[in-house]
């Protein structure tokens, strides 16, 4: 089967004369990883030596290739010339710490070394260390390969990653005192040239093509346009667009199929001007899961095997309760924190907004907020307001400014003008943003003591960094305060509240597809290691629950059935389902119907 697929020339114009590096980015759930893998395989099948690298903290390259991967290139069996690797943020951070510690004077005491290691334990160290490894590859560190393909995290996380060198360069240029939340500056300074070389390579069309991946959906195309603008500000104008999952109905009188196609056509017709100006490829919707070499090779074929209708008995699927039952169960608790989590693109924002509106409809006061840098809440609510519902977001820039002013007021009382200037300069460190966002998150978590707080979280990788910060703060509080407060009462940290099943209800959202379910399962294990037990799963956009007669869509139903049985059978005892909506739910009325 695989040999037949390699004989068909892939259809993407992107593959006609690709530069040495291809950088895939886009909104979560649009198929970046599938397309990056398919392109890597096509280039390798054409005789090139190819390395595919994931920069996503929640990478699923391992599952795509059915091959365990690490932080060094590993050959992919079945594809001559192809190797793959994951940038391991924790391993990169440990390597970074070792380099910084090696620069300390031989006379440094163990206590001094321990202090530096503690300074280097934050999530921002992990981010800059991961970029350091990424930058090494971009700047020519992947010798022996004709092409390097980067599969990135969802856009909010990726844009922050790409903005780090500029932020740190500015900070280092103005701050030469040698200490920050990243410890001695030399660990950053010695990498500055490599960071700048990496950004130059990313912006050079002879070296790199930036591939924006989207689906024929309004939100995905708007996100791609926003990303295009942000990348252009960083000097990366060498962009092109791939629209994945373009659907054409084959049964005229199937309402769901007709709606599916019409929504895609309308989204493409309203595509932002900056995307229209780019070179563009379109990839048809496929009826099979994008996992394994045969499927990845078939993804780009002009003539994949024709879809054949599958017989699916949806009775068991239709017996799974809907979002109305989930909100009913939550409302009986009276108050608490509802954290909606999952892979990018699975519909977290829609589920969070619908739950918040449903709780208000049941007579409760609700604060709906988000930790997602991309902040899609406003788009989902379409600007509508509802009495009893307060909506905002954790804005990193606003929170950072607020945090800096608070620290200046607290610590600057006894400082002279020079001391104040030095304090403000130190607070310009990009790590300050991490601390400020964590404080805002902690403040919102605490609000749930007397009301409902529904928190729409960022895609998985970004959220795990926030969880890391929460855990670090918890350990620091216990270490610093508990020994000095005998009999003063128990300390309650944000992590303790997240671990309390009566206080916090984590709702994992997934799609009925292999990769989203696997990533939600991995997130569930990460949470359990932090002693946070997910409360429920929501399976979103189920075609099986909606019903269709279109052959291609029915072909997808068999895969849905397997994943739904997987969730209900082994991953969660409390599962809810949302059918695929013929009209994307946006605005109060549309969201309200999801929980009636």
Task: Name the pLDDT band for 554 (thresholds 50, 70, 90).
Answer: confident
| pLDDT above 90: percentage of residues in the chain | 32
pLDDT at 181 over 50: no
Which of 315-319, 394-398, 505-509 has the highest average model confidence (pLDDT)? 505-509
Residue that has been written with the tokens 């010339």 in this structure: 81
Please say if 342 is a catalytic residue. Answer: no
Q: Which of 515, 518, 572, 595 is catalytic?
A: 515
Task: Note the pLDDT tens digit of each residue in 446-491.
Answer: 999 999 999 988 755 455 555 565 556 555 655 555 554 554 446 6
**What value, to the nearest 5°, has the Cα angle with vertex 294 and ends 292 and 299?**
95
Q: What local confidence, expressed as pLDDT, does residue 164 receive?
A: 56
Distance linking the first and last C-alpha atoms of the chain: 47
Q: Which residues, in sequence order, are bridge partners of residue 85? A: 53
Please report, for residues 61, 194, 442, the alpha-carbon distance to residue 35 in angstroms, rounded to integers and kept in the order given.
12, 28, 38
Please tell me which residue, 229 or 136, carries the higher pLDDT value: 229
The pLDDT value recorded for residue 345 is 74
Mean pLDDT on 520-546? 89
For residue 229, indicate whether it is catalytic: no
Q: Which two tokens stand for residue 475?
A: 């350990």
Identify whether the C-beta of residue 52 lies closer than 8 Å to the C-beta of residue 84.
yes
- The pLDDT assigned to 328 comes to 97
Sorted by sequence, the CB contacts under 8 Å of residue 428 that are 6+ apart come out as 170, 171, 174, 175
| pLDDT tier, 314 (very low <50, low <70, confident <90, very high otherwise) | low
And the tokens for 346? 């699975």
Give, in degrees to the nearest 5, the angle at Cα 166 between 164 and 169.
Answer: 105
d(CA 59, CA 86): 7
Task: Note the pLDDT of residue 526.
Answer: 83
Angle at the Cα of 73 (from 68 to 78), degrees rounded to 5? 65
**In the prediction, which pLDDT does 167 show?**
54
Say if CB 438 and CB 466 are below 8 A apart. yes
Residue with tokens 């994943």: 563
582 part of the active site: no
Q: Which helix (H) or strand (E) holds 198?
A: helix 192-202
**With 50 as the cut, is the pLDDT of residue 6 above it?**
no
Phi, psi of 401 (to 5 degrees): -60, -40
Six-digit token string for 54 = 């994931």
**Model pLDDT for residues 288-298, shown as the tens digit of each residue:** 878 889 989 98
Query: 137-141, 142-146, 346-350 — which is least confidently predicted?
Result: 137-141
Q: Is the pLDDT of residue 354 over 70?
A: yes
- Residue 252 clears pLDDT 70, i.e. is over it: yes
Question: What does CATH list as the number for 315-396+441-481+491-593?
Answer: 3.40.50.300
Confirm whether 348 is a catalytic residue: no
Examine the residue annotation and report whether 56 is marked as an active-site residue of this protein: yes
Q: DSSP of 11-77, one letter per residue?
A: --GGGTS--SEEEEEESTTSSHHHHHHHHHHHHHHTT--EEEEE--TT--HHHHHTS---SS-EE-T
Active-site option among 26, 27, 28, 32: 32
In CATH terms, the superfamily for domain 2-89+146-165+195-299 is: P-loop containing nucleotide triphosphate hydrolases (3.40.50.300)
Indicate which residue of 25, 34, 219, 432 is catalytic: 34
Q: What is the DSSP string of 353-414?
A: HHHHHHHHHTT--EEEEE--TT--HHHHHTT---TTEEE----HHHHHHHHHHHHHHHH-TT
Q: What is the mean pLDDT of residues 44-59?
A: 87
Query: 25, 33, 125, 504: which one is catalytic?
Result: 33
Q: Are 389 and 588 in contact (CB under 8 A)?
A: no
Q: Judge whether 33 counts as a catalytic residue.
A: yes
Residues 25, 211 contacting (CB under 8 angstroms): yes
The Cα–Cα gap between 494 and 441 comes to 9
Query: Residue-wise over 165-175: b if at least 16 C-beta within 10 A, else e?
Result: bbbbbebbeeb
| pLDDT higher at 92 or 151 | 151
Distance between CA atoms of 391 and 435, rounded to whole angstroms? 22
- Exposure string (b/e) for 356-386, b if CB count within 10 Å is 16 or more? bbbbbbeebebbbbbbbbbbbbeebbeebeb
pLDDT of residue 180: 45
CB–CB of 442/494 below 8 Å?
yes
Residue 487 pLDDT: 46
Element (H, E) at 83: strand 82-86
By the 8 A CB rule, do 17 and 93 touch? no
Host H or E run for residue 196: helix 192-202
Kind and range of the H or E run holding 579: strand 575-579
Q: What is the CA radius of gyration of the chain?
A: 25
163-173 average pLDDT score:
53
Query: Length of the chain, please?
Result: 596
Q: Could you report the per-residue pLDDT of 297-307, keeping only the tens digit for each?
A: 989 887 655 44
Which position has the higher pLDDT, 358 or 123? Answer: 358
From the list 25, 45, 55, 56, the catalytic residue is: 56
Give the tokens for residue 17: 């004369």
Residue 438 pLDDT greater than 60, yes or no: yes
Rounded to whole angstroms, how far apart are CA atoms 272 and 144? 39
Residue 535 above 80 pLDDT? yes
Among residues 25, 26, 28, 31, the one annotated as catalytic is: 31
Q: What is the pLDDT of residue 495?
A: 76
Residue 33 and residue 244 in contact, taking contact as beta carbons nearer than 8 Å: no
Q: What is the pLDDT of residues 14-24, one digit of tens each?
A: 998 999 999 89
Q: CA 458 to CA 435: how far, in whole Å?
A: 16
Question: Would residue 31 show up in a list of annotated catalytic residues for this protein?
Answer: yes
More confident residue, 416 or 335: 335
pLDDT of residue 158: 62
Q: Helix, strand or coil for residue 202?
A: helix
Query: Partners of 390 in the beta sheet?
Result: 367
Q: Give ranges for CATH 3.40.50.300 in the chain.
A: 2-89+146-165+195-299, 315-396+441-481+491-593
* pLDDT over threshold 60, residue 77: yes
Query: What is the rounded distance in angstroms from the CA atom of residue 202 to the CA atom of residue 23?
Result: 8
Q: Percentage helix, strand, coil, to 5, in the chain? A: 50, 15, 35
pLDDT of residue 106: 79
Which residue among 29, 187, 358, 471 is the active-site one?
A: 29
Residue pair 175/437 in contact by the 8 Å Cβ criterion: no
54 vs 166: CA distance, rounded Å: 22
Spatial distance between the Cα atoms of 344 and 463, rounded to a whole number of angstroms: 11
- Give 7's pLDDT tier (boundaries 50, 70, 90): very low
């Amino acid at each position: 089967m695989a040999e037949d697929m390699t004989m068909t020339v892939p259809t993407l114009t992107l593959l006609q004369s690709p530069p040495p590096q291809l950088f895939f980015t886009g909104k979560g759930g649009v198929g970046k990883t599938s397309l990056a893998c398919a392109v890597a395989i096509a280039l390798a099948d054409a005789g090139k030596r190819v390395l595919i690298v994931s920069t996503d903290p929640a990478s699923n390259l391992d599952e795509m290739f059915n091959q365990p991967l690490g932080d060094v290139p590993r050959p992919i069996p079945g594809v001559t010339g192809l190797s793959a690797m994951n940038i391991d943020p924790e391993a990169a951070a440990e390597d970074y710490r070792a380099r910084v510690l090696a620069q300390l004077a031989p006379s440094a005491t163990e206590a001094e070394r321990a202090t530096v290691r503690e300074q280097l334990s934050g999530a921002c160290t992990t981010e800059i260390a991961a970029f350091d490894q990424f930058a090494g590859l971009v700047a020519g560190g992947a010798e022996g390969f004709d092409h390097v393909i980067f599969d990135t995290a969802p856009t909010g996380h990726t844009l922050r990653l790409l903005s780090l060198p500029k932020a740190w360069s500015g900070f280092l240029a103005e701050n030469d005192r040698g200490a920050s939340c990243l410890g001695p500056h030399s660990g950053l300074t010695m990498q500055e040239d490599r960071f700048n070389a990496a950004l130059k390579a990313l912006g050079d069309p002879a070296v790199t093509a930036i591939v924006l991946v989207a689906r024929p959906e309004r939100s995905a195309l708007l996100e791609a346009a926003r990303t295009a603008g942000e990348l252009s500000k960083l000097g990366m104008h060498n962009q092109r667009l791939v629209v994945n999952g373009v659907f054409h109905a084959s049964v005229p009188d199937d309402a769901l199929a007709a709606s599916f196609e019409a929504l895609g056509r309308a989204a493409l017709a309203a595509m932002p001007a900056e995307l229209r100006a780019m070179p563009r490829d379109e990839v048809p919707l496929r009826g099979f899961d994008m996992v394994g070499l045969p499927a990845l090779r078939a993804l780009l074929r002009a003539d994949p095997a024709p879809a054949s209708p599958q017989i699916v008995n949806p009775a068991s699927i239709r017996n799974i309760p809907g979002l109305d039952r989930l909100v009913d169960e939550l409302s009986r608790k009276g108050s608490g924190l509802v954290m909606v989590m999952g892979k990018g693109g699975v519909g977290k924002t829609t589920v969070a907004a619908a739950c918040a509106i449903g709780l208000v409809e049941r007579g409760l006061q609700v604060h709906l907020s988000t930790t997602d840098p991309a902040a899609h809440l406003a788009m989902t609510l379409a600007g509508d307001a509802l009495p009893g519902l307060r909506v905002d977001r954790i804005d990193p820039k606003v929170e950072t400014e607020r945090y800096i002013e608070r620290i200046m007021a607290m610590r600057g009382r006894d400082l002279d003008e020079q001391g104040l200037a030095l304090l403000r300069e130190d607070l310009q460190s990009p790590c300050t943003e991490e601390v400020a966002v964590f404080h805002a998150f902690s403040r919102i978590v605490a609000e749930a003591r007397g009301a409902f707080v529904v928190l729409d979280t960022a895609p998985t990788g970004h959220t795990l960094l926030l969880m890391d910060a929460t855990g670090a703060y918890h350990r620091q509080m216990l270490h610093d305060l508990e020994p000095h407060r005998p009999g003063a009462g128990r300390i309650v940290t944000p992590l303790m509240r997240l671990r309390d099943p009566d206080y916090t209800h984590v709702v994992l959202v997934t799609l009925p597809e292999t990769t989203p379910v696997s990533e939600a399962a991995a997130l569930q294990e990460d949470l359990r290691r932090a002693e946070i037990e997910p409360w429920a799963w929501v399976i979103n956009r189920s075609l099986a629950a909606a019903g269709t007669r279109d052959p291609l869509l029915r072909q997808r139903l068999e895969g849905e059935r397997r994943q739904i049985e997987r969730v209900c059978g082994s991953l969660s005892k409390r599962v809810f389902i949302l059918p695929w909506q013929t009209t994307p739910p946006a605005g109060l009325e549309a969201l309200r119907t999801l929980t009636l």
